[in-house]
Structure 1
Amino acid sequence: MELAYTLFLIILYLLIAPLALVFVWAVYYDLSTSEIPPGIDQPLKLRILHWLLIISASLGKILESLCFCSQIHFIRFIQEGKKLGEDPKLWIQDLMFEDIPVRVYQPREPKSERRKGVVYFHGGGWMFGSINSYDHVCRYIAKESDSVVVSVGYNLAPEQKYPSQFYECLAATAHFLKRADDYGVDPARIIVGGDSVGGNFTASVCQALVSRTDLAKPLAQILIYPGLQAIDFNLPSYQQNRAVPILYREHVICSALRYLNKDLSVLDSVVRGCHVPTDIKMRFGKCINSENIPQEFKARGFEPSQAASFVDDVYEVVKQALEATFSPLMAEDAVLSQLPKACIVTCEYDVLRDDGILYKKRLEDNGVPVTWYHIEDGFHGVINFFNGLLSFPSGKKGVDSIVTFIRSS
């Protein structure tokens, strides 16, 4: 009996000790690298959320070194979640649009007229996120806005390389525009939207649809804290929020390089701006510039960056990131002027804040109406946490602003 008890204690120790070390490492890494400004929504809860993300990444790295699975696949497994149960207010179907997985949310209550439709592209830095992990968000939007929501499950990087995800999102959107009647949706009342890289896809898909004469044009676009450019990573928000969880500046660039299937060794050169040729600086320097950021957004600190010397080898590695399908802020005025009205959601404590602000200005300069919701205490990814145990009031504020825009469109 004593032997069995001793063995039990040994096994328990072997299981608990590594987990305890990982937890200690997560807390240490967070406290030593992150910066949580005092105005952010529920800072302690955000730290706990960040610890959980660091723990999952650390465990994934350990399992990868032990040849059990890759770190990326482990993180995806942890974040995946599952499809929620039946909803008394929604018909929910998993379908394929042009070989692309989608989940369609249709309100059950009959309606005399055709509904609005929403095509939604999830975030996740090109490498993470899924239909399941955004199930709660899409259900809420469908019910509260009384719209048919199509959640697009595009394939992820690094398995899928640029620009495949963009083309999958474009194909799924075109399919829904063509077949809207099948879902009780008016094809002239379809909104395209997404968060983070989903906002990037939203902008690039809407730009691509400008030239499509065979499809109805989207009614509107919703860009939720989108990443929209790869020219300047020293804008005020990139400086102020470079280490604010849950998205660091380096994470933005690393994710982009992985989607492009490029070497991460150029990261520091990209931060300095060595990848941008002189002709591109001249063409887009006026619109992608800190001078276009309102002064109140520089109050927390901003140092204009010194002009970096162009390095051709770095440009050759990342030049695809300077295409409009990757950096929609670089689209021509002739395209932007034909885009539908927009809703842009930004968060004060988000490294990508200024991308949204700059796109707002470019759209307005080209005559496109913009509704702007700025979440003053929000951080990147916050709408995912609008309900549940790790919920933030700023997340609820963000998702409700999206619903308000859809209902009023």
Structure 2
Amino acid sequence: MSGTGRDSLSPAARALCDAMAAVFPGPGDPAALRAAASASRGGGAEVASVRDAVADGVPVRIYDPAPGAGGGRPLVVFFHGGGWVMCGLDTHDALCRALAVASGAVVVSADYRLAPEHPWPAAPDDALTVLLWARAGAAGLGCDPARLVVAGDSSGGNLAAVTALRAPELVAGQLLFYPPLDASMEQPSVSEFAEGYFHTAAHMAWYWDQYGGDPAHPHVSPLRAPDLAGLPRTLLVLADCDVLRDEGLAYGRRLGEAGVDCGIHLVPGVFHGFLGLPLPAAAAAIGAAGAWVAATAAK
């Protein structure tokens, strides 16, 4: 248990955290983790059009809240979380639906290859493939390619940040939900919330090990990038009780120092993964993120 005590979480979040931790496997068995993640998926908001497609070899799911609405809308390319090891289109279906409804944007969710079977750089290469495919087809989706936002939660937030680093000229915004950004795991929040908050430091260290790559490479650890100037406007949505909190805060500070328009939404009383839970804070955070996407201007 962290030294901050159980009262760091709201009562509702604490109840959910403890219930989830009681049934979620420890690190070490990808199959068990994948089974647990698949069992946790639930329903979501009604979206006018949801269809599956293939983006140059990468499976995707496309959410359109208003088909036939005409051009000019934002386009979100979304990468799911799950430690690069688990989850997929189905586990993040509800979150993508909520984001599409909240933003009015078309959301393209990418089913990138997973570790350890496909270690780095398979996932970021798939992410870039989907970005290029979505941008090329934006007009056909009723979207403005110059209003493209990359987004993701947890490890998917890492992939969104890496994609923005690799192709900043193609991205108008990056929406990062509690992303891992530094494989060194040296930030104070790693020890502060190491246990007792569902997503443990041991889980995160194991995920990094499965993912692979050089921990110092900026396409593994975006916080290690020597220069963040020229990156698109950014919104970081962070959980206050999370091992990853401080690296998100550090990335936000560095973006600001580099002249990037960066907002940080630090949500109190919640833990890693809260966006997928029945908490008022989750609905509020998704609503704010949707409004931010809707306000994304052409690059």
In the superposition, the TM-score normalised over structure 1's length comes to: 0.67
C-alpha displacement at 1:143, in angstroms? 1.4
Written as runs of structure 1 = structure 2, the 5 A alignment for 1:290-309 is none
Q: Does 1:154 align with 2:112?
A: yes
C-alpha displacement at 1:394, in angstroms? 2.4
Secondary structure in structure 1 of the residue aligned to 2:24:
helix
4+ aligned runs moved over 4 Å, structure 1 = 32-36, 81-88
Q: Does 1:47 align with 2:18?
A: yes
Aligned counterparts of 1:203 and 1:244: Cα–Cα separation in 2: 28
2:126 maps to amino acid: E
Q: Does 1:325 align with 2:219?
A: yes
Return the structure number with greater relative CO, CA threshold 8 A, min gap 6: 2
8 Å Cα contact 2:3/2:192 also seen in 1: no
1:243 to 192, 195, 200: 195
Written as runs of structure 1 = structure 2, the 5 A alignment for 1:179-328 is 179-210=137-168, 217-231=170-184, 233-260=185-212, 320-328=214-222
C-alpha displacement at 1:33, in angstroms? 9.5
In the superposition, the TM-score normalised over structure 2's length comes to: 0.91
Residue of structure 2 equivalent to 1:103: 61
Larger fraction in strand: 2
C-alpha displacement at 1:149, in angstroms? 0.2
Residue of structure 1 equivalent to 2:98: 140
Residue identity over aligned pairs, in percent, reads 28
Secondary structure in structure 2 of the residue aligned to 1:38:
helix
Secondary structure in structure 1 of the residue aligned to 2:8:
coil
Secondary structure in structure 2 of the residue aligned to 1:130:
coil
8 Å Cα contact 2:17/2:271 also seen in 1: no
Contiguous gaps of at least 5 residues in structure 1 = 1-31, 62-70, 211-215, 261-318, 386-390
1:349-375 per-position Cα deviation (integer Å, ceiling 9, x unaligned): 000001111111111111000111110
1:38 to 7, 12, 34: 7
8 Å Cα contact 2:59/2:112 also seen in 1: yes
Aligned counterparts of 2:202 and 2:33: Cα–Cα separation in 1: 18
8 Å Cα contact 1:206/1:339 also seen in 2: yes
C-alpha displacement at 1:195, in angstroms? 0.9
C-alpha displacement at 1:36, in angstroms? 5.5
Contiguous gaps of at least 5 residues in structure 2 = none
Pair 1:182–1:112, CA change in 2 (3 A): closer
Between Structure 1 and Structure 2, whose CA radius of gyration is higher? 1
Secondary structure in structure 2 of the residue aligned to 1:321:
coil
Aligned counterparts of 2:23 and 2:40: Cα–Cα separation in 1: 18
The CA RMSD measured in Å over matched residues stands at 2.4
Aligned counterparts of 2:20 and 2:41: Cα–Cα separation in 1: 22
Pair 1:85–1:176, CA change in 2 (3 A): same
C-alpha displacement at 1:322, in angstroms? 1.2
Aligned counterparts of 1:189 and 1:179: Cα–Cα separation in 2: 13
Size of the aligned set, in residue pairs, is 294
Aligned counterparts of 2:240 and 2:41: Cα–Cα separation in 1: 31
1:132-180 per-position Cα deviation (integer Å, ceiling 9, x unaligned): 0000010111112111000000111111111111111111111111111
Pair 1:150–1:34, CA change in 2 (3 A): farther
1:407 to 291, 294, 297: 294
Larger fraction in helix: 1
Aligned counterparts of 2:20 and 2:45: Cα–Cα separation in 1: 28
8 Å Cα contact 1:114/1:186 also seen in 2: yes
8 Å Cα contact 2:2/2:194 also seen in 1: no
